[in-house]
């Protein structure tokens, strides 16, 4: 098979509050022989909040990010669900509306860029599941995670709205997603089923509606604990920040002590591939990863 | 090979009568279903052949009255529109049938939708227009203007999105996606003159659009592709455009992204929280900030990463901004 190459859009979180996500992504790409070209020119995707303020500006900025992947002639991979949503949404809106695309390109022309629509946008999880292949991944596992019950937490913006996400996520059904479960199994782990695995973590309402956000986080961790999970895994750094950092507020909000270690998706894969905890940045977690 | 035309399915149906039952329970039926059957056919078969006391709402039978909405394995559906074979593809052959909200059950699958209708009514879901009672000509809407509704007028008030919204399940004051979609539907209508009042209504803290958690459940739940979250985003935009955005944590949280992108290209996460919360409000985040700092999760201002070719980004923010705060 030809070597897989992607343009990596890190988003902001992986360069700031979850440095372990970028570290572990690069570590497993190296082990798997996937080449990731960093898009250092990219800006913030707006995280669905800039979109509330200035929709057009968010389109221009996201189109600019995609331009840099197009220049490389590569598919863009994201490592944050919300980056995936906003980038894929921009692509979809521009590709299906030539008038809007022309308006955005008129702005991009001011900085010598043009959005063409030639690069696909997909989350790294789906690049692994669909392009790399789980069978091949399973064969490379050195340390099967067979001692662990692992709770997948999918994160909203990889699975909903399905009409948009199905363009890149292989037709995952948002009511019964399977990709992350399949990845856990490929890593030798035991996937646990629980009702909150495809639900919201509350991240986007944390500042303006802290109680709602904390209850959602608490319900998610409680659901995983009740399903006998040893730890959780998520492809989204925003979900990770909620689940890893906010368990005190979450416990208070739901009136029950909830706490579980939470791994980023590449950290889980990295453990199975035999990466060291330091290579995966496991020392950066607030809820200590005490099982390795 | 012939296509499969019938399958055996196990149905677990939620039962509760508020007049006689202390707790809800489930009845289980195993039935052969055919590829042309919809969920309503199954409910009818159970009621007519097995248990006449099973209660559910049904009326038009072609997806327009919105009354038969229920949940299958947590997915909100119209019973008259959802084919069993499509549901089996998602969930397999063990299906649990429940009311839209187990908290609001009157009997079995019938719920009290009072909260839905009150919130819907609260946004003035009608055209507000000062026109003559006997106009001399029709008030025509061009196709171009009709498109501005973005299919928000397809809403049939079934409640699928309302009872799939996690923000509303926790915060009962929150008006929810259906009310917001209705607010947008009338505010985007060229004949309407009540938009400003509606925008003030949906601009309230705790009740209004700002408390949306952006989970996209409403877009997924809607059987008519109304896409309520898209309308919620548009209401946010309209609030800013109308100049009525309050200066609070929610609005600053949105605006802060533009400031940060202008400065760094990337988001300055710490500064966004400080800007959104204000210098006093930010204090409550200190414990988590300390925990994050100890684990190398906070970048100091002097180490803040910047996008390459930042001058391009600055130029675009200046030239492409369409609103002011």
pLDDT tens string A14-71? 999 999 999 999 999 999 999 999 999 999 999 999 999 999 999 999 999 999 999 9
Q: Cβ contacts of residue A65 below 8 Å, gap of 6+?
A: A9, A39, A41, A42, A43, A45, A76, A87
Q: Quick: pLDDT tens for B47-101.
A: 999 999 999 999 999 999 999 999 999 999 999 999 999 999 999 999 999 999 9
Look at residue B132 in the predicted model and tell me its pLDDT: 84
For residues A229 and A261, membership in a common domain is answered with yes
Q: Is position A292 within any domain?
A: no
Enumerate residues 114 to 153 of chain A having a beta carbon within 8 A of any beta carbon in chain B.
none
Boundaries of domain holding B254? 249-320
- The tally of CA atoms less than 13 A away on the side-chain side of residue A246 is 29
**Residues A191 and A223 reside in one and the same domain:** yes
What residues of chain B lie within 8 A of the CB of A284, using their CB? 295-297
Query: What Å distances lie between residue B315 and A71, B128, B257, B312, B321, CA to CA?
Result: 20, 41, 16, 5, 10
Question: Would you say residue A99 lies in a domain?
Answer: yes
Q: Is A97 in the B-facing interface, judged by CB distances under 8 Å? A: no
> In terms of domains, do A60 and A152 share one?
no
Asked whether residue B14 is assigned to any structural domain, the reply reads: yes
**Does residue B151 share a domain with residue B124?**
yes
Whether B290 and B203 share a structural domain: no
A26 vs B2, more confident:
A26
Is residue A26 one of the residues assigned to a domain?
Answer: yes
Helix axes A81-95, A55-72, angle to 10 degrees: 90
**Backbone phi, psi, residue A53, to 5°:** -90, -55
Residue of B nearest to A242 (CA): B288
With contact defined as beta carbons under 8 Å apart, do B118 and B35 qualify? Answer: no
Domain count, chain A: 2
Q: What is the pLDDT of residue A2?
A: 81
Question: Which residues of A fall within a CB distance of 8 Å from B205?
Answer: 208
Q: Which of chain A's residues have a Cβ under 8 Å away from the Cβ of B302? A: none
The yes-or-no verdict on residue B1 having pLDDT over 60 is no
Cβ contact A175–B258 (<8 Å): no
Other Cβ atoms within 10 Å of A99 Cβ, number: 7
Q: Tell me, yes or no, whether B133 lies in a domain.
A: no
User: Nearest residue on chain B to A64, judged by CA atoms?
Assistant: B313
pTM tops 0.95: yes
Question: Which of B254, B274, B278, B317 to mutate: most A Cβ within 10 Å?
Answer: B254
Say if residue B159 is in the same domain as residue B91. Answer: no
Whether residue B261 sits in one domain with residue B223: no
**pLDDT, tens only, B270-318:** 999 999 999 999 999 999 999 999 999 999 999 999 999 999 999 999 9
ipTM of the complex: 0.96
Q: Which residues of A touch B319 (CB under 8 A)?
A: 107, 110
Q: Is A281 left (phi over 0), alpha (psi -120 to 50) or beta?
A: left
Q: Residue B138's pLDDT is what?
A: 86
Is residue A99 domain-shared with residue A183, that is, in the same domain?
no
Q: Could you tell me if A53 and A173 lie in one domain?
A: no
Kindly state whether residue A129 falls inside one of the protein's structural domains.
Answer: no
Count how many pairs of residues, chain A against chain B, have C-beta atoms within 8 Å: 208
DSSP 8-state code for residue A127: I
A252 and B CB contact within 8 Å = no
Query: At A137, is the pLDDT very low, low, confident or very high (cuts 50, 70, 90)?
Result: very high
In a domain, B138, yes or no: no
Find the domain containing A256 and state its range: 134-284
Mutation target vs B (from A48, A208, A254, A284; most B CBs, 10 A cutoff): A208
What pLDDT does residue A292 have? 85
Tokens for A247?
Answer: 């368990």
pLDDT of residue A1: 64
Residue-averaged pLDDT of chain A: 97
Kindly state whether residues A115 and A238 are assigned to the same domain.
Answer: no
Identify all chain A residues contacting B74, using CB atoms and an 8 Å cutoff. 175, 195
Q: What is the pLDDT of residue B133?
A: 85
Q: Which of A87, A211, A49, A67 has its CA nearest to residue B252? A: A49
Q: Render pLDDT for B228-283 as a digit per residue (tens, 0 to 9).
A: 999 999 999 999 999 999 999 999 999 999 999 999 999 999 999 999 999 999 99
| Number of domains chain B contains | 3
């Amino acid at each position: 098979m030809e070597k897989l190459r992607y343009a990596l859009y890190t988003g902001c979180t992986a360069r700031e509050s979850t440095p372990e996500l970028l570290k572990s992504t690069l570590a497993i790409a190296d082990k798997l022989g996937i080449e990731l070209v960093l898009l250092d020119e990219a800006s913030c995707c707006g995280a669905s909040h800039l979109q509330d303020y200035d929709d057009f500006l968010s389109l221009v900025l996201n189109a600019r990010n995609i331009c840099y992947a197009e220049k490389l002639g590569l598919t863009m991979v994201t490592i944050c669900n919300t980056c995936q949503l906003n980038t894929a949404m921009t692509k979809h809106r521009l590709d299906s509306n030539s008038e809007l695309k022309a308006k955005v390109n008129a702005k991009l022309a001011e900085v010598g860029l043009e959005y063409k629509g030639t690069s696909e946008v997909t989350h790294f999880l789906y690049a692994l599941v669909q392009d790399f292949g789980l069978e091949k991944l399973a064969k490379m596992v050195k340390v099967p995670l067979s001692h662990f019950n692992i709770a997948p937490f999918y994160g909203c913006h990889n699975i909903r709205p399905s009409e948009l996400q199905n363009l890149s996520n292989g037709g995952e059904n948002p009511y019964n997603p399977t990709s992350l479960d399949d990845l856990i199994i490929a890593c030798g782990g035991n996937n646990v089923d629980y009702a909150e695995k495809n639900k919201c973590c509350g991240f986007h309402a944390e500042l303006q509606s802290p109680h709602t956000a904390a209850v959602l986080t608490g319900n998610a961790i409680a659901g995983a604990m009740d399903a006998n999970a040893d730890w959780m895994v998520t492809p989204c750094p925003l979900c990770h920040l909620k689940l890893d950092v906010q368990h005190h507020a979450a416990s208070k909000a739901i009136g029950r002590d909830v706490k579980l270690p939470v791994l980023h998706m590449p950290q889980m894969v990295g453990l199975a591939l035999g990466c060291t905890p330091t290579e995966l940045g496991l020392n950066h977690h607030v809820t200590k990863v005490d099982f390795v | 090979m012939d296509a499969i035309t019938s399958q055996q399915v196990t149905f677990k149906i939620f039962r509760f009568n508020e007049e006689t039952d202390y707790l809800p329970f489930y009845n289980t039926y195993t039935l052969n279903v055919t590829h042309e059957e919809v969920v309503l056919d199954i409910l009818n078969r159970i009621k007519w052949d097995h248990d006449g006391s099973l209660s559910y709402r049904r009326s038009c039978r072609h997806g327009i009255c919105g009354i038969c909405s229920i949940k299958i394995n947590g997915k909100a559906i119209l019973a008259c529109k959802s084919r069993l074979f499509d549901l089996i593809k998602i969930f397999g052959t063990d299906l649990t049938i429940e009311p839209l909200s187990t908290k609001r059950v009157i009997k079995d699958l019938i719920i009290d939708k009072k909260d839905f209708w009150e919130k819907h009514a609260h946004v003035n879901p009608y055209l507000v227009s000062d026109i003559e009672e006997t106009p001399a000509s029709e008030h025509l809407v061009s196709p171009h203007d009709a498109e501005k509704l973005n299919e928000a007028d397809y809403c049939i008030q079934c409640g699928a999105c309302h009872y799939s919204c996690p923000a509303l399940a926790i915060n009962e004051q929150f008006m929810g996606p259906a009310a917001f979609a209705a607010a947008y539907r009338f505010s985007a209508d060229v004949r309407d003159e009540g938009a400003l009042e509606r925008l003030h209504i949906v601009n309230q803290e705790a009740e209004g659009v700002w408390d949306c958690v952006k989970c996209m459940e409403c877009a997924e739940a809607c059987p008519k592709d109304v896409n309520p979250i898209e309308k919620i985003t548009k209401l946010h935009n309209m609030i800013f455009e109308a100049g009525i955005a309050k200066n609070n944590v929610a609005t600053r949280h949105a605006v802060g992204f533009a400031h940060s992108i202008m400065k760094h290209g990337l988001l300055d996460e710490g500064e966004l929280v400080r800007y959104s919360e204000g210098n006093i409000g930010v204090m409550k985040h200190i414990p988590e900030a300390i925990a994050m700092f100890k684990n190398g999760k906070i970048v100091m201002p002097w180490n803040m990463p910047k996008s390459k070719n930042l001058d391009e980004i600055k130029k675009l923010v200046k030239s492409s901004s369409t609103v002011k705060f």
